[in-house]
Amino acid sequence: MSDYLPGLEGVPATQSNISDIDGEKGILSYRGYPISELASKSTFEETCLLLLDGQLPSAHDLAVFDEQLRRNRRVKYNIRTLMKALPSTGHPMEILQTSVASLGMFYPANECLTDPESCKDLDYVHNMTVKIIARMPVLMCMWEHIRRGYDPIEPRNDLTFSENLLYMLTGNEPEPVFVDIMDTCLILHAEHTINASTFAALVTGSTLASPYGVMAAAIGTLAGPLHGGANEKVVDMLKDIGEPKNAKAWLDKKLANKEKIWGMGHREYKVKDPRATILQGLFEKLVTERGGEISPSFEIALALEAAAEERLAAKGVFPNVDFYSGILYAEMGIPTDQFTPIFAVSRAAGWLAHWREQLVDNRIFRPTQVYTGEPVRTYEPLSQRG
Amino acid sequence: MSDYLPGLEGVPATQSNISDIDGEKGILSYRGYPISELASKSTFEETCLLLLDGQLPSAHDLAVFDEQLRRNRRVKYNIRTLMKALPSTGHPMEILQTSVASLGMFYPANECLTDPESCKDLDYVHNMTVKIIARMPVLMCMWEHIRRGYDPIEPRNDLTFSENLLYMLTGNEPEPVFVDIMDTCLILHAEHTINASTFAALVTGSTLASPYGVMAAAIGTLAGPLHGGANEKVVDMLKDIGEPKNAKAWLDKKLANKEKIWGMGHREYKVKDPRATILQGLFEKLVTERGGEISPSFEIALALEAAAEERLAAKGVFPNVDFYSGILYAEMGIPTDQFTPIFAVSRAAGWLAHWREQLVDNRIFRPTQVYTGEPVRTYEPLSQRG
């Protein structure tokens, strides 16, 4: 038996050709393409197809996929009924897990349930993938209205993925700069090697469970405060600071007490997280575009970033992807508790790419344990116990 | 980096003192107590508490737990509304995953979401565990009626766990022999070291996700045809045999073609699965009690068992736990697609015991990968692609 390594740290759980992190050079690549190139040159739709198929699509294949995504946005009205039965206090991640789990009944994966081997059929896999990627943002946006007592905004198929997401969320056609930001955020969060939620997708997928069940497992895993949710904490942190002039003193106090500063540093990267650099560019662009009209929390973020630059950059600690994405989402008026669902909408592409890869060369996950319990002992009848 | 072992076979993923399998001697023990003793002397309620707390409870603690389970059977009417919105064709495992995921909104785990550290509070953990173990059979039985167009049968708190399960499923007070069989089946399926669904619970739980999200991940994993579901296949197999007199020839043909025979053999045990021996006793008891009035499929099962004894026992291949549990459930009139949900109702005890153990010494699961993909390459604009 191999050594026991808590959290399986450093233990290879799979062979994968989807993404790679070069922590020394600060390069995250999807199928070999650096994230910096994808963020500036690609779209979320194209990035999905790249992650799924392994190469950049032809113009024709991209157009077909884009059309498939647009045609799969509508959801049956009983899903609205289901959501209306849920308490309005439900966290959007709980709603997403519940509604994605239900999706399999409305858009069945029958081929898979009746014949395990057909799970490996790439047409089936692609079909399921489209149904899920297209509908996840729709489910997320439906809840934003239903929890407030309103009917959801119907999806529009004349809009891109990111345009439609923002449109359904707010009911208004979004400003182009917000569409750019959202599309970039979706590209940046779509995949990040084997993290806890992606691993959960592999484990669940390895029993040949339905892709909806696989996604529900991954969503439930991402919902944990140790995984998704750091960008929500950034917004709370800015509220805690209160005013831009407090930022420096607040940071010094936290550093002196060795407390965690949300949205700073990343264990995978020895240099600056490439995703943070990209978002920082968008952040600066938005500041320029907005001139003096930026929000108070945005000003606090700028002050905190300047203070962190002074104190932490020399130690290799930089604002990371969570620092900027939270601030940018808040600036678009997106409620804080929808940040992790947006992460899930994006990461669904990576989860499904890993699900597909798992099916092609599947082996059920059944690790072992180090048993530390009692040796075999004799049962004592209830009457003889203390 | 350690070697890559597909499915993490033989890789210890956790230290655990919950259950152990001695495959040479054919002993499965929960907290040190052999399953044969628990099956004949314990109840499902007591077995749950044993798995959760680590020792056999006092009479007082058992009475308190039993009362807690009885008081947590009712579910809010909006859960019924939710189920009524789901397609009547929905598989009971999809329903169970969806409704358990929703349960967290109706009976929130707020302590956990607001303060990750409180996840480790044993009162909180016990409280959540009771809410889930008590309600899983209720959700399962509700669907049996709702999918047929009827309102569910209300739970009764004057019945034991197994009595109430059978009562809610059928609407009738069950025969004592069926209660015995059900309670024994629940004890036997409650725990079995680190299998795929238990492992999924650990991975999801390691992000400090809510226990409802953890259970939904485990249910989705168990639903896969490579994990749960073998006892359903046994019933299909008996239908395929058609008549008792066909059993021998059918078995010989399968063996000659090296086809899988469902419900026979188990990779963890070198000798007979102790759970099969226990169920075989119940099976024989039921045959005796019923005299000549046994059902045709039961007769086929008896004929197949006799044929298997002759052909396979010498090779160490015996009917396993799935062979007998499927037949016994069918004999109680339980629909085939509810067999895996019963497995989930029972295994919830083991999943929650492992969830608790994970929280006490938590480390997020983040294994690594062997990257087999493209080296870093340059993005080609759409216009330059084939």
Active-site residue (options: A66, A145, A322, A354): A322
- With 80 as the cut, is the pLDDT of residue B363 above it? yes
Beta strands at B12-16 and B19-22: parallel, antiparallel or unpaired? unpaired
Find where tokens 């045999």 sit: B241
Token representation of residue A204: 């669940």
What is the rounded distance in angstroms from the CA atom of residue B58 to the CA atom of residue A97?
38
Give the CA distances from residue B274 to residues B35, B47, B226, B298, in Å, rounded to whole numbers and listed in that order. 7, 17, 22, 22
Please name the residue ranges forming H helices in A230-332: 230-241, 247-256, 274-290, 296-312, 321-331
- Whether B266 is catalytic is yes
Q: What is the mean pLDDT of residues B59-72?
A: 97
Across the interface, do A364 and B79 touch by the CB < 8 Å criterion?
no
Supply the pLDDT for residue B88. 97
From chain A, the residues in CB contact with B14 under 8 A are 4, 367, 369-370
From chain A, the residues in CB contact with B374 under 8 A are 17, 29, 31-32
Beta strands at A33-34 and A368-371: parallel, antiparallel or unpaired? unpaired
Of A98, A197, A365, Cβ closest to residue B101: A98
Token representation of residue A130: 């489209």
- With 70 as the cut, is the pLDDT of residue B67 above it? yes
Across the interface, do A368 and B193 touch by the CB < 8 Å criterion?
yes
Across the interface, do B196 and A366 touch by the CB < 8 Å criterion?
yes
User: What percent of chain B is predicted at pLDDT more than 70?
Assistant: 96
Supply the pLDDT for residue B150. 98
- With 60 as the cut, is the pLDDT of residue B114 above it? no
What three-state secondary structure class fits B171? coil
Supply the pLDDT for residue B292. 65
Most B-contacting residue of A11, A24, A267 (CB-CB within 10 A), to test interface? A11
Of B85, B105, B228, Cβ closest to residue A94: B105
The backbone torsions φ and ψ at residue B14, rounded to the nearest 5 degrees and listed phi first, read: -160, 160
Of A5, A58, A364, Cβ closest to residue B196: A364
- Between B164 and A324, whose confidence is greater? B164
Of A113-122, B299-308, B327-336, which gets the smallest average pLDDT? A113-122
Of B56, B106, B203, Cβ closest to residue A199: B203
Q: pLDDT digits over B230-242, tens only? A: 888 888 899 999 9
Of A17, A20, A224, Cβ closest to residue B209: A224
Token representation of residue A31: 């199928």
What three-state secondary structure class fits B81? helix
Of A156-165, B242-251, B302-311, B356-365, which gets the smallest average pLDDT? B302-311
B110 confidence band (pLDDT: 50, 70, 90): low
Across the interface, do B373 and A32 touch by the CB < 8 Å criterion?
yes
- With 60 as the cut, is the pLDDT of residue B374 above it? yes
From chain B, the residues in CB contact with A367 under 8 A are 7-14, 194, 199
- Residue A381 neighbours by CB distance under 10 Å: 9
CA diameter of chain B: 79
List chain A pLDDT tens, one digit each, 386 residues: 678 999 999 999 999 999 999 999 999 999 999 999 999 999 999 999 999 999 999 999 999 999 999 999 999 999 999 999 999 999 999 999 999 999 999 998 755 555 666 667 888 899 999 999 999 999 999 999 999 999 999 999 999 999 999 999 999 999 999 999 999 999 999 999 999 999 999 999 999 999 999 999 999 999 998 888 788 888 889 999 999 999 999 999 999 999 888 888 887 888 888 999 999 899 888 888 888 677 888 889 889 989 998 888 888 888 888 888 988 999 899 999 999 999 999 999 999 999 999 999 999 999 999 999 999 999 999 999 87
Most B-contacting residue of A22, A99, A202, A369 (CB-CB within 10 A), to test interface? A369
Active-site residue (options: B145, B273, B322, B354): B322
CA distance B291 to chain A (A): 33
Please name the residue ranges forming H helices in chain A: 35-41, 44-53, 59-71, 77-84, 92-106, 110-114, 122-146, 161-170, 176-189, 196-205, 211-222, 230-241, 247-256, 274-290, 296-312, 321-331, 339-360
Task: Report angle CA B203, B209, B215 to the nearest 5 degrees.
Answer: 70
What is the rounded distance in angstroms from the CA atom of residue A311 to the CA atom of residue A6?
33
- With 70 as the cut, is the pLDDT of residue B118 above it? no
Most B-contacting residue of A143, A198, A204, A208 (CB-CB within 10 A), to test interface? A204
Supply the pLDDT for residue B112. 54
From chain B, the residues in CB contact with A228 under 8 A are 207
Of A172-176, A358-362, B77-81, B297-301, which gets the smallest average pLDDT? B297-301
User: What percent of chain B is predicted at pLDDT more than 90?
Assistant: 75
Across the interface, do B366 and A32 touch by the CB < 8 Å criterion?
no
- With 90 as the cut, is the pLDDT of residue B119 above it? no
Most A-contacting residue of B118, B365, B384 (CB-CB within 10 A), to test interface? B365
What is the rounded distance in angstroms from the CA atom of residue B334 to the CA atom of residue B144?
10
Nearest CA in chain B to A380: B56
Supply the pLDDT for residue B194. 97
CA distance A153 to chain B (A): 20
B319 confidence band (pLDDT: 50, 70, 90): confident
Find where tokens 């009924």 sit: A81
Active-site residue (options: A189, A192, A266, A354): A266
CB B146 within 8 A of CB B303: no
Q: pLDDT digits over B261-289, tens only? A: 888 888 788 888 899 999 989 988 888 88
From chain A, the residues in CB contact with B57 under 8 A are 385
C-alpha radius of gyration, chain A, whole number: 22
Beta strands at B368-371 and A12-16: parallel, antiparallel or unpaired? parallel
Across the interface, do B224 and A212 touch by the CB < 8 Å criterion?
no
Supply the pLDDT for residue A74. 96
CB B132 within 8 A of CB B211: yes
From chain B, the residues in CB contact with A62 under 8 A are 382
Q: pLDDT digits over B205-231, tens only? A: 999 999 999 999 999 999 998 888 788
CB B189 within 8 A of CB B343: yes
Nearest CA in chain B to A375: B32
Q: Is the dihedral of CA B35, B41, B47, B51 positive or negative?
A: negative
Across the interface, do A79 and B85 touch by the CB < 8 Å criterion?
yes
- With 80 as the cut, is the pLDDT of residue B86 above it? yes
Mean pLDDT across chain B: 93
Q: What is the ipTM of this complex?
A: 0.96
Of B8, B56, B226, Cβ closest to residue A385: B56
Across the interface, do B223 and A209 touch by the CB < 8 Å criterion?
yes
Please name the residue ranges forming H helices in B225-369: 230-241, 247-256, 274-290, 296-312, 321-331, 339-360
Supply the pLDDT for residue A297. 82
Of A193, A203, A366, Cβ closest to residue B203: A203
Please name the residue ranges forming H helices in chain B: 35-41, 44-53, 59-71, 77-84, 92-106, 110-114, 122-146, 161-170, 176-189, 196-205, 211-222, 230-241, 247-256, 274-290, 296-312, 321-331, 339-360
From chain A, the residues in CB contact with B228 under 8 A are 207
From chain B, the residues in CB contact with A210 under 8 A are 94, 220, 223-224
Across the interface, do B2 and A11 touch by the CB < 8 Å criterion?
yes
Across the interface, do A365 and B196 touch by the CB < 8 Å criterion?
yes
Question: Which residues have CB under 8 Å from B305's CB, separation 6+?
Answer: B319, B323
Across the interface, do B8 and A13 touch by the CB < 8 Å criterion?
yes
